[in-house]
Amino acid sequence: MKSRDLFERALRRIPGGVNSPVRAFRSVGGEPPFLARAKGAHVWDVEGREYIDYIGSWGPMILGHGHEEVVEAVRRQLDVGMSYGAPTEAEVEMAELIAELVPSAEVVRMVNSGTEATMSAIRLARAAAGRDKILKFEGCYHGHGDSFLVKAGSGAATLGVPDSPGVPAALAALTLNARFNDIDSVRALFEANRGQVAAAIVEPVVGNMGCIPPKEGFLKQVREACDRAGALLIFDEVMTGFRVALGGAQARCGVRPDLTTFGKIIGGGLPVGAYGGRRDLMEQLAPSGPVYQAGTLSGNPLAMAAGLATLRHLKAHPEIYEQLEKRGAALEKAARATILQNDWPVCVNRVGSMATIFLHPGPVRSWDEASACDRGRFARYHRAMLERGVLMPPSQFEAFFLSAAHDAEIIDKTAAAMRESLAEAMG
């Protein structure tokens, strides 16, 4: 069965033919390849075409696809059961390991997706602070919870307005949108909503506008602004957790959030999310406290097996992060050289093994800069890379990911494809 035939069938029974919108290739044009197999840094579509994979399941596959320790761990668990709906040792080990690697997460609750983690974290923050408003940053994505599908109100109105049908205006009004890397916008919103903001939530390294690092000191300033306002600080590390460092972005920036959300890598490719933080906050969650949150498959044994094997391997091999940094730097260097040589209006943002090629002269430090990218040229670049056997995330506003399986030869091949594809896009 060819991808095209599968897509036609999919369109009849699945909204847009996909189970998550970005997969439909709408922003880059063409139709998505349907994948059939993955191993290491490569994936193969149903027609047997091979691609170097930079989606990596949107972050989880940091060890590469089909890592033997992860596969073996899942196989062992399969022999003793898939799901019990009762506590297991693996969940205790996962909570202990997350708390060890991310010390601000003193107590941890497992859920099944990043969206569940962030939805639950803001409910807890609202309960603990006794306040209803949430401050987020324009362009940051925290999953599809109603309070996050909110854009900045127009003009002076600092209250949010729905960014999707179905989000109640009354709820959207409780979400404020600041500008990433602009501490004055944060302070102004806290001032205009004094005593009303329960928490600020931020991607400490943004992945969802494309990769945008925080300016030096920005996150520390956000921490201080939250403290002055009596608001909690939530780091959404669903993407950056165990990606940009073993201790996540907070290990790099040295800022301690009150709550952190996790996902992706902690599931090793299976559906997992988690949130954790200060004991006095987390113990307000049922059944130890009154804040309700639950989940049939939370802490699922198979998902714990895959996640634990992944985190344990990363902990036992911290040199992986040096290798990811080296490979990421090599790819960035090659991209920058060709951009400079050709004087193209293109720039690169990278933090460790997550990066984005922006079809924009740069710098790209916030949504109003990212949103000015040339999306048509990005689509041509993406298509050209696909034709050269390199599968990049099908959106300008995503980060691409290297895994431990992306060796020097693969990086060289990618750099060559990038040079040719950018030339095609700029032509």
**Positions marked active-site:** 141, 236, 264
Kind and range of the H or E element at 197? strand 197-202
Nearer to ligand KE4, 207 or 307 (CB): 207
List the structure tokens of 34: 């349907």
Q: Are 66 and 38 in contact (CB under 8 A)?
A: yes
Residues in 241-300 that interact with ligand KE4 by CB under 6 A? 263, 273
Contacting range for ligand KE4; rule: CB under 6 A; set: 96-104, 107-115, 186-194, 319-327:
107-115
Q: Is 416 in the site for ligand KE4 (CB under 6 A)?
A: no
Contact residue for ligand KE4 among 211, 239, 339, 402 (CB under 6 A): 239
CA distance 396 to 214: 19
- Burial bucket for residue 392 (CB in 10 Å: 0-12, 13-18, 19+): buried
Nearer to ligand KE4, 20 or 341 (CB): 20
Sheet-wide strand order for 400-401: 347-351, 354-358, 400-401
Residues in 15-74 that interact with ligand KE4 by CB under 6 A? 20, 22, 58
Interface pattern 113-132 for ligand KE4 (x via CB under 6 A):
xxx--x--------------
Q: Is 301 in the site for ligand KE4 (CB under 6 A)?
A: no
Q: Are 349 and 210 in contact (CB under 8 A)?
A: yes
- Burial bucket for residue 22 (CB in 10 Å: 0-12, 13-18, 19+): middle
Of 398, 397, 402, 404, residue with least CA distance to 415: 402
CA distance 213 to 215: 6
Q: Is 207 in the site for ligand KE4 (CB under 6 A)?
A: yes
Tell me the number of residues near ligand KE4 by CB under 6 A: 19
195: helix, strand or coil: coil
Nearer to ligand KE4, 252 or 415 (CB): 252
Nearer to ligand KE4, 339 or 394 (CB): 394
Nearer to ligand KE4, 113 or 177 (CB): 113
DSSP summary character for residue 40: B
β-pairing, 133-137 vs 197-202, is: parallel
Contact residue for ligand KE4 among 91, 182, 369, 398 (CB under 6 A): 398
Contacting range for ligand KE4; rule: CB under 6 A; set: 30-38, 41-49, 112-120, 365-373:
112-120
| Site of interaction with ligand KE4 (CB under 6 A) | 20, 22, 58, 113-115, 118, 141-143, 203, 207-208, 236, 238-239, 263, 273, 398
